[in-house]
Every structure is written in C-alpha cells, then in structure tokens.
Structure 1
Amino acid sequence: MNHAAQESIRVPIRKDTDLTVVRQQVRALAQRTGFGLVQQTKLVTAASELARNTLLHGGGGAAEIRVVHGQAGAGLSVSFVDSGPGIPDVDLALSDGYSTAGGLGMGLSGSKRLVQEFEIESGPDGGTRVTVTSWADPYSVGHGVR
C-alpha cells in the first residue's frame, strides 16, 4: 500500500470524549474528500469501533487520519496505534464472535468488512497498529466537493 498522503490529522485517544473527536474528524475529512453518505457512515463506524478498541484494549493511543491518493483516486486512511498488551493471535481476534471484553466479538471483523483495505500489526510483545483505508466513489449519492 503506497499512498501519497496530502492532509493529516492526529487525534490522541485517552478518554471517551476523544472517540467523538475521532468520529467527527473522520466524517469531516471524508466529506471533503468526496465520500458519499453511505461511504462516510461505513468508514466512521469502523473508525469508531477501532478507536474504542484503542482505548479499551490498548489503554489509549492515537488515531492518524490521512487523505491519500492512489490508483483508485482519493481516499482516507486511518491508523490506530497503541502501546497496549498487543494481540497474541490476530487471526483469532479477526474471527466473528471472538471477544476478550465480553462483547459480541464483532469489532475487528466488522470493521474489516466496512472498509476496502485493512491492515493489522500486533503481537504478544505489545503494541498494535490497525490501518484502514477506503476510497471515495465519485458516483455515490451525496459526495462532497473535491
């Protein structure tokens, strides 16, 4: 994934109210990048879940939201980074129904289904980076101005 970043916003994730800031920033950049309403909603939903995971499982961290350009045109790439305990078994964590917090276990797997590109780097030694990327569809209803 070799995307040229043009605009970038970093949002610290330390408390619940930071999750709202992540959602707002992702939606605002998605609108400016030309995402339609459905595309915005999918990306914001994935970002919200991943930000919550960063806070709850990683003990906090940061989100970096970047406008990127590639063969598919303009898009958004959002990375979530923490210094938490890591994910010992990424494949298991990506399976539907797997949860370490007593939830439904749809967070990572659900987020992956909502975006076009999904990367996760983690291990038992600690720290996790999840990066999701979606591309704006210029033909979607309600797309923004580029």
Structure 2
Amino acid sequence: MRDRTKTRAVAGAAALLTVAAGLGVRSALGGEAAKYAGDALYTVLVHALIVVAAPRVRPAVAAGTALVISCAIEFAQLTGVPAELSSRSTLARLVLGSTFNAPDLLWYAVGAALAGLAHRAALAGLAHRAAAARPARHAAGPGTDGGRSRALVQGGRQAD
C-alpha cells in the first residue's frame, strides 16, 4: 500500500512538472516548436495522470493508453464538438483543443515514448534501490551445514 502511495505522489509531482514545462516552453519558444513540444508534453501529462490513477500500471500500458487518449481527442476535433466547447471554456480549449492537425499525432507518439521510457527508468531505479537495501543472502557452500542438507535430500535422518 505504501508503494502505491509513493508512486502516486511521484506521478503527481511529474504531472505538475509537466504542466510547468509546458508553460515554460510556451513562453520561451513560441511558434511551431512550442506547439509541437506542447503536444508531446500533453501526452506525457496524460501518462502521469494514468499512473496517479493506476500506480501499478506497466510503463508500456500507460504509454499506449496515453497515446490512444491523446489521438482520440485529436480525432474528436474533426467533429467540431471540441471547437464549440473551446469557444465557451478556457479549460476545454486547453484539454480538447479546437482544430485537427495531423502532425500532432506524431508528437503525441513522441510524448508517449518518452513518458514510457521515463516511467520504465524510474521503476528500474526503484528496483535497484530496493535490491541494494535488502540484506545479502549467503549461500552455504558444500559441507558447511554438517551434512544436514544431504541427509534431507536423501530422505534420511542425520545422526546425532
């Protein structure tokens, strides 16, 4: 239970950092570079929110789900519904966008790949730290147990 709480906290912090990065990129770069970096970061944010909701999710599953959600929202823009909602709400404009743009799909895939790799690296780092924290197990060499293991394997009893 504690691991899930920690994972949620780290994923929540990653989501906040992603929003901050998106705002920073938007103000620092502008133009196409900011737009496409924002698309990739959008999918990274979706990935982080998936991990907050399901902390035991595998990185590939979270990345794939984030990509599907991002692409579904992009394709929904073909209907005009997001544009209508975006005209009424700033939040809807930020979340749903308003106009379909095919290159966005590529940048969503880039964001999903980067998020999946970062998630995988984070899990590998946690596993490495957990393994380092465990006490070492020493395997007994032959003859170090007074023959007890041989007697047990042979089904016999050790003579006292």
TM-score range, shorter chain: 0.3 to 0.5
Structure having the higher Rg: 2
Pick 1 or 2: higher relative contact order, CA cutoff 8 A, min separation 6: 1
Give the TM-score of the pair, scaled to structure 2.
0.31
Q: Determine which structure has the larger strand proportion and give its number.
A: 1
Give the TM-score of the pair, scaled to structure 1.
0.33
Q: Determine which structure has the larger helix proportion and give its number.
A: 2
